[in-house]
Amino acid sequence: MFNPNDPKLRSFISVDPASDFPIQNLPYGVFSANGLAPRLGIAIGDYVLDLWELAQEGRLDVCEPAVFAATSLNAFMALGPSVWTRTRVRISELLRHDHPELRDNDELRKLALLPMKDVKLHLPFTVAGYTDFYSSKEHATNVGVMFRGKENALQPNWLHMPIGYNGRASTVVVSGTKVRRPRGQLKPPNVDAPSFGPCKRLDFELEMGVVIGQPSAMGEMISESRAEEMIFGFVLLNDWSARDIQQWEYVPLGPFQAKAFATSISPWVVTREALEPFRLQGPEQDPVPLPYLRQARPNNYDLTLEIGLRAGAMNEAQSIARTNFKYMYWSSVQQLMHHASSGCAMNAGDLLGSGTISGPEKTQRGSLLEISWNGTEPLELPGGIKRSFLEDGDSLVMRGWCQGDGYRVGFGEVEGTIVAAG
């Protein structure tokens, strides 16, 4: 078997070096085109490769072809890591510049390769459960200072375990879905009694989402190597947050309605395997975690993340922050080991949000709450536009990519536009 991550690989489809989808990536998604039912595809350059079409033609002999005709990735993910690997290697082979099978078959190429601009992208998997973590030390410290003051910024448990809460799978939506401003109980600190109405402090959170591809049994603890095997891939994730609702409701059980109204993810799932070349060691963990949370391998990734905001009358999005997934204190593997440690079963299709990814610099903050410091330092945008929180009509775009030598393994984007509470 050849290495599908080899930087020297080239496809017969020409791919711009700045494209997110070279032959080294091959992310999975669900798409529909030409009035046909949704099915599985992978992104290559400006095209989508129809896996159902390839399987039907006997060119993708890795599992039952019907798996690729599904409207979600769940059945494919259930087949496990050895099938994921074989499928990725086979698709890479079919797309290679020096492999004639698809390259020289005009008819099959016409059937199986569709311009990405002509397809509709769907939510890529059925979300079984959604858990959101809080694993950036910089973010947790910033929020702690704003909500509780400098002395109590990090709670005493934070350095000992990945803190998280159970979110809502029912409102995870794909990029491009409009996000309605939530309503909720609001009680600003200077007012005596709460009222109910549209959120006034609507925010985003820049996160990565881990897609769990393999289940674990109730009562089963998960080792580091097992955790890795269970991770199918990653998506960009925007954990929309209503800060005013959150500030009033979060004590003592954490966020509830403040984050239950919408979570947006990118349509392409980048496999864990495609990110392998970009692994690196995360921040030093002090104190040393308890034995069940220790990891022997570097489980962070060098993954650049950028946030763009198109507010009001702006024609295009303006970059408002740039950070990196590598800053996360707790890795995705540690989150998963912790999640199952009590005996909690994990399901294929579970989505784990990393927590807001903020870096050490001011320009690396992953939420407006931090960027505008709870509204005290409004963000200044072109045309004299100012923002402390999101307004109706604002559009938020997140992008992410790992930079290789002459190519990048990217995620595309996750976009959401705010509409009025109505």
User: Which residues have CB under 8 Å from 191's CB, separation 6+?
Assistant: none
What is the nearest approach in angstroms of Mn ion to the Cβ of residue 259? 7
Residue 20 touching Mn ion (CB under 5 A): no
Comparison of 239 and 350: residue with beta carbon closer to Mn ion:
239
State which residue, 205 or 244, has the beta carbon closest to Mn ion.
205
Q: Which stretch binds Mn ion (CB under 5 A): 43-51, 103-111, 126-134, 215-223?
A: 126-134
Residue closer to Mn ion by CB (options 205, 394) is 205
Specify whether 139 is catalytic: yes
**Contact status, residue 123 vs residue 265, Cβ threshold 8 Å:** yes
Phi, psi of 77 (to 5 degrees): -60, -35
Nearest residue by C-beta to Mn ion?
Answer: 239
Q: Select 165 or 292, whichever has its Cβ closest to Mn ion.
A: 165
Q: Of 50, 132, 273, 394, which lies in the binding site for Mn ion, with binding defined by CB under 5 A?
A: 132
What x-and-dash track marks residues 344-363 binding Mn ion by CB under 5 A? Answer: --------------------
Q: Does 205 bind Mn ion (CB under 5 A)?
A: yes
Q: In the numeric block, which tokens belong to residue 376? A: 């005290």
133 phi/psi in degrees, rounded to 5: -100, -175
Distance CA 105, CA 57 (A): 12
| Selection from 129, 402, 160, 145 nearest residue 279 by Cα | 402
**Binding mask of the shown chain, residues 153 to 192, with x at each position contacting Mn ion by CB under 5 A:** ----------------------------------------
In 3-state terms the chain splits into helix, strand, coil percentages (rounded to 5) of: 25, 25, 45
Give the position of tokens 């998997």.
Answer: 125
Strands (E), 117-254: 120-122, 130-133, 164-166, 172-174, 179-180, 183-186, 195-198, 202-203, 206-212, 231-238, 241-242
Binding mask 231-270 for Mn ion (x = CB under 5 A): --------x-------------------------------
Residue 138 interacts with Mn ion (CB under 5 A)? no
Beta strands, E only, 61-199: 113-115, 120-122, 130-133, 164-166, 172-174, 179-180, 183-186, 195-198
Q: Dihedral (C-alpha) 128, 134, 136, 140: value to the nearest 10 degrees?
A: 160
Shortest distance, CB of residue 2 to Mn ion, whole angstroms?
39
Q: Residue 376 Cβ, how far from Mn ion at the closest point, in Å?
A: 22
Active-site pick, 139, 160, 338, 339: 139
- Residues identified as active-site: 139
Footprint of Mn ion (CB under 5 A): 132, 205, 239
